[in-house]
Amino acid sequence: MLKPNQYIGVLEKILTHLKNSKLAYFKASDHAVSAEKKRFFNQQGLIRNRFFQDVLTELQRLGMSSDDLVISRFNFDQLLISSIDTLKAPAVEKCLHADQNLLEIYLGLKEFEGSNLNFDKHIEQLEVAISLNEKWVSNLTEKRSNSF
């Protein structure tokens, strides 16, 4: 009985991180200068929203109602405390960190069996976004170091 409860706990954690990641991407879109980056960030925010709905559906399949979920009782103080380290980071860097955290949690789901959800598809899309964000963060860091 412990395994299903652990699985549900991990899915709830993913919901919280997906919500934060979606917001980070939409904020990055607001700060994007190029149309390519603005489009990418908006698309990634929408993808995180779809992932959120997929995970929510999986939780409902397991008998959880939205009233039972931690996400419905979201603690904004906890978010503030957990994001202090990245407060002054560029928006793209916040997206990168959010996706890296999400990927780590998703990879932890591999130990659970019986999932109705194709998490491999989520993982694959996260890895693509991480790769592109790493490139942009690297370019940004290089530009900053060249300006000194």
Domain range 2-142, CATH architecture: Up-down Bundle (1.20)
- How confident is the model over 86-129, as pLDDT tens digits? 455 788 899 999 999 999 999 988 887 766 567 889 999 999 99
Structural domain spans, the chain: 2-142
pLDDT tens per residue, range 14-58: 999 999 999 999 999 998 889 999 999 999 999 999 999 999 998
CA atoms of 11 and 25, how far apart (whole Å): 21
pLDDT of residue 85: 46
Per-residue pLDDT at 146 exceeds 90: no
Tokens linked to 10: 């991990």
